[in-house]
Amino acid sequence: MNTDYVPEWYITPFEHSKYTLARNQIHMDLLFDDMDDSDEFLSMGCPAQVDYYDGGKHCIVQLGETQHKSLITIHGLLLHEAVHIWQRTKHLMGEKEPSFEFEAYSIQRIAQDLFDMYEASESHDQKQNTSQSSWGI
């Protein structure tokens, strides 16, 4: 893991919520103003999870050690969490039945951002935030 990685907030399409990727307890602590308020990293004991704050307006995806996981498995975990972020965002938007394309593009955008954050957390060249406005394939 890249020890220089610092979680950055990304914003969902239409700016209903923000999300980021934490890879360890230090990252969780950095995301809270008061370290005493910080939650435990991967508190549910899963390989990945998302926690919601401020009524779901802030989402922290947590991904543990990936050394012995394939890239497909890692992307699957991040995609799973992207769907949860979308589900929460959809609720915040008041959308009960968004169009299939809108939903697909929204999940794609969130997943691509999480993949980008994961890559930045693993590499040492810090090319973070490169896909933030990318909607295409």
pLDDT tens for each residue of 31-46: 987 656 789 999 999 9
Position with higher pLDDT, 114 vs 132: 114
pTM over 0.85: yes
In a domain, 71, yes or no: yes
In a domain, 49, yes or no: yes
Give the structural domain span for 15: 10-122
Q: How many domains does the chain have?
A: 1
Residue 2 lies in a domain: no
- Tell whether 3 is covered by a domain: no
pLDDT at residue 127 is higher than 70? no
Reported as type and span, the H/E element at residue 61 is strand 58-63
* Residue 132 located in a structural domain: no
DSSP SS3 for 18: strand
Query: pLDDT at residue 77 above 50?
Result: yes
pLDDT in tens, 48-66: 999 999 999 999 999 999 9
Q: Which residues fall within 8 angstroms of residue 81, CB to CB, at 6 or more apart?
A: 48, 49, 50, 61, 63, 114
In a domain, 127, yes or no: no
Q: For 100-117, what is the mean pLDDT?
A: 97
Domain assignment present for 17: yes
Instruction: For residue 133, tell me if it sits in a domain.
Output: no
Q: Tell me the one-letter amino acid at 99.
A: S
- Give the three-state DSSP class for 114: helix
- Does residue 107 carry a pLDDT above 50? yes
